[in-house]
Copies of this chain bind each other. A is one copy, B any other.
Amino acid sequence: MTILARLITSLALMTALFSSPARAEDGYDLWLRYRPLPAAEASVAARHMQAIVPLDDSPVIRSAAAELARAATGLTGQSPATSRRAGAIILALASNPAIASLRLDTSTLGAEGYLVRSVKMEGEPVTLIVANADRGLLYGAFALIRLAQTNTTLNGLDVSSRPKMQLRVLDHWDNLDGVVERGYAGQSLWDWWTLPDYRNPRYTDYARANASIGINGVVLNNVNAKSESLTARYIGKAAALAEMFRPWGLKVYLSARFTAPIELGGLPTADPADSRVAAWWRAKADEIYRTIPDFGGFLVKANSEGQPGPRDYGRTQAEGANMLAAALAPHGGTVMWRAFVYAETNPEDRAKQAYTEFKPLDGTFADNVLVQVKNGALDFQPREPFHPLFGAMPRTPLMMEFQITKEYLGFATHLVYLAPLFSETLQSDTMARGKGSTVARILDGSLEGHRLSGIAGVANIGRDRDWSGSSFNQANWYAFGRLAWDPDGSPEAIAREWSAMTFGPSPEIIATSVKMMMGSREAAVDYMTPLGLAHLMGTGHHYGPAPWISNLARPEWNPVYYHRADSAGIGFDRTASGSDAIAQYAPPVARILADPKRIPERELLWFHHVRWDQRMASGKTLWAELVGHYDRGVDYVAGMQREWSGLEGKVDAERFQKTATFLAVQLREAKWWRDASLAYWMSVNKLALPAGVAAPEHDLAWYQAQRFPYAPGNP
Q: Which residues of A contact B (CB under 8 A)?
A: 2-5, 7-10, 13-14, 16-18, 20-21, 23-24, 26, 52-57, 62, 65-66, 69-70, 73, 79-80, 82-84, 90, 96-98, 121-122, 176-178, 184, 186-187, 192-194, 197-199, 201-202, 228, 411-413, 463-465, 654, 658, 661-662, 664-665, 709-712
6 residue pairs, one from A and one from B, having the closest CB atoms: A14-B82, A176-B710, A4-B84, A9-B57, A187-B187, A198-B661
Question: Which residues does chain B contribute within 8 Å of A3, judged by CB atoms?
Answer: 97-98, 122
How far does the alpha carbon of A2 sit from the alpha carbon of B53 in the complex, in Å?
14
Contacts known (A4-B55, A193-B710); A17 close to B65, Cβ less than 8 A: yes
Choose from B24, B54, B122 the contact partner of A13 (Cβ within 8 Å).
B54
Please name 28 pairs of A and B residues whose Cβ atoms are closer than 8 Å in the assembled complex, sorted by A.
A4-B122, A5-B83, A5-B84, A8-B55, A9-B55, A9-B56, A13-B65, A16-B66, A17-B52, A17-B82, A18-B79, A18-B80, A18-B82, A20-B70, A20-B79, A21-B70, A23-B23, A24-B201, A177-B710, A184-B193, A192-B710, A193-B411, A193-B711, A194-B412, A194-B665, A199-B661, A201-B654, A463-B463
Whole-angstrom distance between the Cβ of A96 and the nearest chain B Cβ: 8
Question: Which residues does chain B contribute within 8 Å of A177, judged by CB atoms?
Answer: 710
Residue of B nearest to A14 (CB): B82
How far does the alpha carbon of A97 sit from the alpha carbon of B4 in the complex, in Å?
10
Residue of B nearest to A706 (CB): B233
Whole-angstrom distance between the Cβ of A5 and the nearest chain B Cβ: 7
Output the residue of A9, A21, A26, A55 with the most chain B CB within 10 A: A9
Whole-angstrom distance between the Cβ of A129 and the nearest chain B Cβ: 14
How far does the alpha carbon of A5 sit from the alpha carbon of B16 in the complex, in Å?
55
Whole-angstrom distance between the Cβ of A84 and the nearest chain B Cβ: 5
Residue of B nearest to A57 (CB): B9
Choose from B7, B197, B711 the contact partner of A665 (Cβ within 8 Å).
B197
Is there contact, CB below 8 Å, between B73 and A20?
yes
How far does the alpha carbon of A522 sit from the alpha carbon of B118 in the complex, in Å?
65
How far does the alpha carbon of A90 sit from the alpha carbon of B186 in the complex, in Å?
42
Is there contact, CB below 8 Å, between B197 and A664?
yes
Contacts known (A16-B62, A197-B665); A9 close to B69, Cβ less than 8 A: no
Choose from B10, B98, B661 the contact partner of A197 (Cβ within 8 Å).
B661
Is there contact, CB below 8 Å, between A57 and B13?
yes
11 further A-B contacts with Cβ under 8 Å, apart from A7-B55, A198-B662, are A3-B122, A10-B57, A17-B65, A17-B69, A18-B80, A23-B23, A176-B710, A194-B413, A197-B662, A463-B463, A465-B465
Residue of B nearest to A121 (CB): B4
Is there contact, CB below 8 Å, between A7 and B712?
no
How far does the alpha carbon of A312 sit from the alpha carbon of B56 in the complex, in Å?
75
How far does the alpha carbon of A662 sit from the alpha carbon of B57 in the complex, in Å?
33
Residue of B nearest to A202 (CB): B465
Residue of B nearest to A70 (CB): B21
How far does the alpha carbon of A96 sit from the alpha carbon of B8 in the complex, in Å?
12
Is there contact, CB below 8 Å, between A710 and B661?
no
Output the residue of A21, A53, A193 with the most chain B CB within 10 A: A193
Residue of B nearest to A67 (CB): B17
Question: Which residues does chain B contribute within 8 Å of A14, judged by CB atoms?
Answer: 82
Question: Which residues does chain B contribute within 8 Å of A73, judged by CB atoms?
Answer: 20
Is there contact, CB below 8 Å, between A53 and B98?
no
Whole-angstrom distance between the Cβ of A295 and the nearest chain B Cβ: 22
Is there contact, CB below 8 Å, between A709 and B463?
no
How far does the alpha carbon of A55 sit from the alpha carbon of B3 in the complex, in Å?
10
Is there contact, CB below 8 Å, between A62 and B13?
yes
Residue of B nearest to A55 (CB): B7
